[in-house]
């Protein structure tokens, strides 16, 4: 049974019809007292609550009801309803424990998906303190693809993926650069009901502000000077599937507003067209930044954070799961040998001890690069600690043994720029923030140059 709390009888009727068509029983009340009385006398699966059902209190009564529900029925999902202009009120409700919020006027798909997601999460809460099952047991139930490891920290992540993948909940994946956030997004998609739909990856840090709308929402021919043909945007490409918004923390303020609109309403307008289009997507976002700190500094919108952060998954850095390093190293060794057509390489005990002792600031990506370089330069197929020390020495600042740029005059400016970016990527183990800082440019500028020079990261 779904309880609707709103003082408007027409809202009762329209939401009730929608819920009935979706297969849910429902009931409706108009005020806080009646809501608590009804909850005390009936079994309830979720509450759809208007934040302004008492107009004269400007949301205070709605917040009071939410606090009372959370205190009395802490496991009961509550979905807030509010006008677009009152989103800060909904964010305040999310801080108090509401599961989601939708804006009026709503779309029917939006309401049904929100209810389905809330009920799905209630049935399988992502409890980080739950007893950890073995990797074999998890692999029997789910497809985690390239997420290699048996460390308890990783197993907790895999358990959460397994619990929430079947819902449509928006997920924010956090962690340092190189920890495998894209692999988590792919695993969520593979284990979801959208697995047969598209999986669209978007590196938001690489999209210039002026091209954001065109890239994300598409454009029609003639929308701007260089729009010679129609373009389908990333959200439309992801319809029926999952969109992975990588580097979400790099969005500028203007783009954040546009992103919030489409994530909230699941509607957008193609650049150059006045027609509003609907999209059905599951959103997984990722960042290596602390978005709560960014909210405090004014660099990131709090309402966008709460829209993205229905479920949070944090990936531990490699230095906190050292027991997985041998598993990852052996997997990378086999893939590197296949990629370069080399055979017979093995990791000696001394090599594994060396790898396990390193800090790996670039995490899994840095480990893979180290394995690859060792395979390419080691004199013998049995890789030892000495081989990896030599590889590490090549990348130290001031090293003159290898990887020097040719003399001036033998390279064009573009070639020099490309070589410096590649060299910096190797030196910083793929950490794009450090690369951008070392080269004296912003991350978006670095992304543009990486794309321009077709550099593989």
pTM assigned to the model: 0.80
Strands, E assignment, 24-140: 26-29, 46-50, 78-83, 100-104
Q: 3-class secondary structure for 338-368?
A: HHHCCCCCEECHHHHHHHHHCCCCCHHHHHH
Give the integer Cα–Cα distance in Å for 20 and 16. 6
pLDDT for position 124: 65
Pick the closest to residue 79 from 60, 43, 103, 109 (CA basis). Answer: 103
- Average pLDDT, integer, range 231-235: 94
What's the CA gap between 311 and 307, in Å, rounded? 10
What does the pLDDT read at residue 392?
85
Q: How confident is the model at residue 142 (pLDDT cuts 50, 70, 90)?
A: very high
- Who contacts 268 (Cβ-Cβ below 8 Å, separation ≥6)? 216, 217, 233, 235, 261, 262, 276, 277, 279
Q: Can you give the pLDDT at residue 88?
A: 82
Give the Å distances, CA to CA, from 340 to 29, 56, 288, 365, 385: 67, 71, 31, 18, 22
- Strand 242-246 versus strand 282-287 pairing type: parallel
Long-range contacts of range 215-221, CB-CB < 8 Å, 24 or more positions apart?
Answer: 216/258, 216/259, 216/262, 216/268, 217/258, 217/262, 217/268, 217/269, 217/270, 217/271, 218/270, 218/271, 219/270, 219/271, 219/272, 220/270, 220/271, 220/272, 220/273, 221/272
Nearest-angstrom CA–CA distance, 212 and 49: 34
- Cα separation, 114 vs 17, in Å, equals 16
Interval 417-448: pLDDT, tens: 888 888 888 878 778 877 887 787 877 778 88
Query: Which is nearest to 164 in space by CA: 137, 136, 184?
Result: 184
Other C-beta atoms closer than 10 Å to the C-beta of 96 total 15
- Side-chain-side CA neighbours of 390 within 13 Å: the count stands at 15
Interhelix angle 60-72/87-95, rounded to 10 degrees, is 20
Q: Are 61 and 54 in contact (CB under 8 A)?
A: yes
Per-residue pLDDT for 38 more than 90?
Answer: yes
- Do 113 and 18 meet the contact criterion of CB atoms below 8 Å apart? no
| pLDDT value, residue 367 | 95
pLDDT digits 0-9 by tens, 356-407: 999 999 999 999 999 998 998 888 999 999 999 988 887 665 544 444 455 5
DSSP 24-44: --EEEESSHHHHHHHHHHS--
Convert the pLDDT of each residue in 257-270 to its tens digit.
999 989 988 889 99
Q: What is the pLDDT of residue 128?
A: 44
Which region among 197-211, 220-234, 372-386 has the lowest average model confidence (pLDDT)? 220-234
> How far is the CA of 3 from the CAs of 26, 30, 31, 302, in angstroms?
6, 11, 12, 28
pLDDT value at 349 more than 50: yes
Are 1 and 48 contacting, i.e. CB atoms less than 8 angstroms apart?
A: no
Give residue 226's pLDDT. 78
With bands split at pLDDT 50, 70 and 90, how would you rate the model's confidence at 145? confident
Spell out the alpha helix ranges (H) of 191-230. Answer: 212-217
Question: Euclidean distance between the first and final Cα of the chain, in Å?
Answer: 50
Q: Whole-number mean pLDDT of the chain? A: 88
């Amino acid at each position: 049974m779904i309880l609707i709390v709103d003082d408007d009888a027409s809202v009762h009727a329209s939401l009730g019809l929608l819920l009935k068509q979706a297969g849910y029983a429902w009931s409706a009340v108009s005020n806080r007292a009646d809501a608590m009385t009804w909850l005390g006398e009936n079994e309830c699966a979720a509450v759809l609550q208007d934040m302004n059902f008492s107009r004269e209190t400007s949301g205070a009564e709605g917040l009071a009801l939410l606090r009372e529900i959370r205190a009395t029925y802490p496991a009961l999902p509550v979905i807030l309803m509010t006008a677009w202009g009152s989103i800060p009120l909904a964010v305040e409700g999310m801080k108090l424990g509401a599961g989601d919020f939708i804006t009026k006027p709503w779309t029917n798909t939006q309401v049904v998906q929100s209810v389905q997601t809330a009920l799905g999460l209630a049935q399988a809460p992502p409890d980080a303190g739950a007893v950890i099952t073995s990797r074999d047991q998890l692999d029997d139930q789910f497809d985690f693809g390239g997420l290699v490891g048996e460390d308890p920290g990783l197993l907790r992540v895999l358990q959460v993926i397994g619990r929430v993948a079947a819902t449509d909940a928006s997920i924010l994946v956090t962690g340092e650069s190189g920890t495998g956030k894209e692999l988590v997004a792919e695993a969520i998609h593979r284990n979801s009901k959208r697995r047969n739909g598209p999986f669209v990856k978007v590196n938001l840090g690489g999209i210039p502000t002026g091209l954001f709308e065109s890239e994300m929402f598409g454009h029609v021919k003639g929308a701007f000077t260089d729009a010679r043909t129609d373009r389908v945007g990333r959200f439309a490409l992801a319809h029926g599937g999952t969109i992975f918004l990588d580097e979400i923390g790099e969005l500028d303020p203007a783009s954040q507003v546009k992103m919030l609109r489409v994530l909230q309403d699941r509607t957008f307008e193609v650049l150059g067209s006045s027609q509003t289009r609907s999209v059905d997507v599951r959103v997984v976002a990722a960042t290596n930044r602390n978005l709560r700190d960014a909210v405090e500094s004014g660099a990131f919108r709090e309402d966008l954070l709460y829209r993205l952060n229905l479920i949070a998954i944090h990936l531990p850095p490699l230095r906190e799961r050292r027991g997985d390093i041998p598993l990852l190293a052996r997997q990378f060794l086999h893939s590197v040998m296949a990629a370069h057509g080399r055979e017979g390489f093995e990791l000696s005990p001394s090599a594994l001890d060396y790898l396990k002792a390193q800090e790996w600031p670039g995490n899994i990506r840095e480990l893979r690069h180290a394995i690859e370089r060792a395979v390419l330069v080691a004199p013998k197929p049995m890789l030892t600690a000495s081989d990896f020390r030599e590889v590490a020495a090549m990348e130290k600042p001031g090293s003159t043994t290898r990887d020097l740029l040719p003399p001036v005059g033998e390279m064009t400016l573009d070639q020099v720029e490309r070589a410096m970016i590649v060299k910096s990527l190797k030196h910083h183990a793929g950490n794009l923030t450090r690369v951008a800082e070392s080269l004296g440019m912003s991350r978006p500028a670095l992304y543009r140059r990486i794309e321009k020079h077709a550099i593989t990261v």
